[in-house]
Structure 1
Amino acid sequence: MLSIIIPTRNAEAALSQNLGQYAGERLIISDSGSRDATLETAYLAGAQLCLGSAGRGPQLARGAKFALLTDAEWMLFLHSDARLSGNWRSAITDHMQNFPEKVGYFRYAKQAKGFWPWLQSVLVSLRCWAWKLPYGDQGLLISRESYERVGGFSNLPLFEDVDIMNRLKLTHGRRNIRPLPAFVRTDISAYEAQGWWKRGWRNFNLLRGFQSGKSVEELMATYYRE
């Protein structure tokens, strides 16, 4: 059984656009104080709701804890703005049946026309191939056994996805991080507003800082300052 877990905060617009693709699936929305119609939108879509403190790490951990109280053997962690290719269900079913020891993630589709969106998609593919490091916005498909083995998501407000992937690679090996034969698209408005190069370079420097041991508090200050 699969549970889909999505952290939200004021995500009404994204949920309105994207929840329909999960029809028929067990959906858990982990919210952190939305003031718009996020909860109503999720409830009307048949989602289960769990509420609590803010921060993507705590929210994902809370959603997973909720899922693990059920018969869920797999969890798919997604962002609210994720738009999946039409074959996502068959790709996930195949993975769960034939690659139970592996962690899955969606391939990153080019988000728009032009050089910079193309370059971003190339760099994401390179990161996933060379470092076996998909980000949370690509969706992370993790079995109950694997999730519990590494201790789940940490209560980090930033790079919670990198943190759990680092631990999964240590325990499972790099070869057990597998790209699914399906794609994800996400909201690119922040890149368009800030500039593709500027935002991408900032994100790379933040990742480098995290991987070199800088505190999350220091990285958060940089994240919000820029």
Structure 2
Amino acid sequence: MCQWLGPELRQVAQGEGDLGERLSRAFEWHFAHGATSVVAIGADCPGVDERVLRRAFTALHSQPVVFGPAVDGGYYLVGLRRSTPELFHGIAWGTSNVLAQSLVTARAVVGEAALLPHLQDVDVAEDLAVWEQCQRESQTVSVVVPTLNEAGQIAATLERIKAAQPKEILVVDGGSTDATARIAADSGAVVLTSPPGRARQMNTGAEVAAGAVLLFLHADTWPPEDCTALAAGALDRDGVVAGAFSFALRERMRGGRMVEWLTNARSRNGRLPYGDQGLFVRRELFEAVGGFPPWPVLEDLELLHRLKRVGRVVTLRPSVLTSARRWQQGGLLRTFARHQMILLGYAAGLSPQALARLR
């Protein structure tokens, strides 16, 4: 267990007795060591994820006990605000009456319990379909596209995203005055609105995303074929917590090959891809590190620095195709110099607002 889960997780022996005695002992131990809320989960319910755990701890803010009901009449989760050994006495463990009996006991001892959504655990061979379904869901990808007056770009980008068959496409519009939102809706995307600001818009999309993996794409960035499968597959590798695709410009321009080479060298060697390369990360981890900071610039860089503290960031060989308009409009050397100034300001600790003034 230590080798599998890592030495940083504390492991405590359950001791002797039935399930109730072992649960009671576990809760008592953790409260005795300073915990103010404790949640215990079963190891046979693949549907328990970070969102379920977060809901459980949130419920304990207002209720003395929380249960996660299992379809078979038991429970996959129980949480308490204080040690309550009576809750585990006189329960017919291993039967379909476990939850019902526990609710009656809880009502008599500590008060009304909060209930989480029903989930199915894996008890017999026939239940393995539940595990397989959870495995499939762990590969689902939600694509989040922030937009602001991108009527000329969004349709082509969405067509390429749809070809990769994501679970959903979330276009988060920051107040476009053109037809961006209508075009996105006509293309089949879910259109959300948000105050302007790329970081704020992407966080808005992530908050409602249903996929296990988040793929953030700029409106002028075309993803590679099978981008969703590539992203989900990369995140299944040991130690990989996030990634992006290689960088290429859609339009040919003088100096374009140099821009591509420098971008990909930085991305691979420094493990710092930028937002216009299609960043992907598991939703749970994205939420755990706080999402994108609400900065006007370099929100992608700051997020990646947080993620690199957790694990490895990879750059895949397939390339996105990003519009060269930024370089064409600003000029190659001027755009490059301005970007380097912003990076130097970031390294020097300038505020996000001061960095934005350097653009």
Same fold (TM over 0.5): yes
Match of 2:169 among 15, 19, 27: 27
1:197 maps to which residue? 333
- Matched residue type, 1:180: L
Give, in angstroms, the shift of residue 108 of structure 1.
Answer: 0.7
Greater percentage in helix: 1
Which amino acid in structure 2 is aligned with residue 44 of structure 1?
Answer: D
The aligned residue for residue 308 of structure 2 is: 169
Report which stretch shifted further, 17-26 or 156-165.
Answer: 17-26
Contact 2:243–2:316 (CA under 8 A) maintained in structure 1: yes
Match of 2:187 in 1: 45
Higher RCO (C-alpha 8 Å, min separation 6): 1
After superposing the two structures, state which structure 1 stretch, 91-100 or 42-51, moved more: 91-100
| 1:92-133 per-position Cα deviation (integer Å, ceiling 9, x unaligned) | 343244457431200012555465111111111221133211
CA distance, structure 1, for counterparts of residue 249 and residue 184 of structure 2? 28
Q: Helix, strand or coil for the counterpart of 2:296?
A: coil
Compared CA separation, residues 12 and 167, structure 1 to 2 (3 A): same
In 2: Cα distance, 1:46 partner to 1:111 partner: 24
- Compute the TM-score of the two structures, normalised by the length of structure 2: 0.57
Q: Distance in 2 between matches of 1:115 and 1:122?
A: 13
Q: Which consecutive unaligned segments of at least 5 residues does structure 1 have? A: none
Question: Once the 2 structures are TM-superposed, how far is the Cα of residue 199 of structure 1 from its aligned partner?
Answer: 0.5
Aligned CA distance change for structure 1 residues 4 and 221 (closer, same or farther; 3 Å): same
- How far, CA to CA, are the matches of 1:212 and 1:129 in structure 2? 23
Match among 351, 354, 358 for residue 215 of structure 1: 351
- SS of residue matched to 1:132: coil
TM-score, normalised with respect to structure 1: 0.89
Q: Which residue of 1 aligns with 2:298?
A: 159
Of 104-113 and 195-204, more deviation after overlay is shown by 104-113
For the residues of structure 1 that align with 2:283 and 2:326, how far apart are their CA atoms?
A: 33
The one-letter code sitting in structure 1 at the alignment partner of 2:338 is R
Q: Residues 131-170 of structure 1 correspond to what in structure 2 (within 5 A)?
A: 131-170=270-309
Name segments (4+ residues, structure 1) moved above 6 Å.
Answer: none
**Given that residues 241 and 313 in structure 2 are in contact (C-alpha distance below 8 angstroms), is that contact kept between their aligned partners in structure 1?**
yes
Root-mean-square deviation (CA, aligned residues, Å) is 1.8
1:63 to 205, 212, 221: 205
Higher alpha-carbon Rg: 2
Q: Percent identity?
A: 28
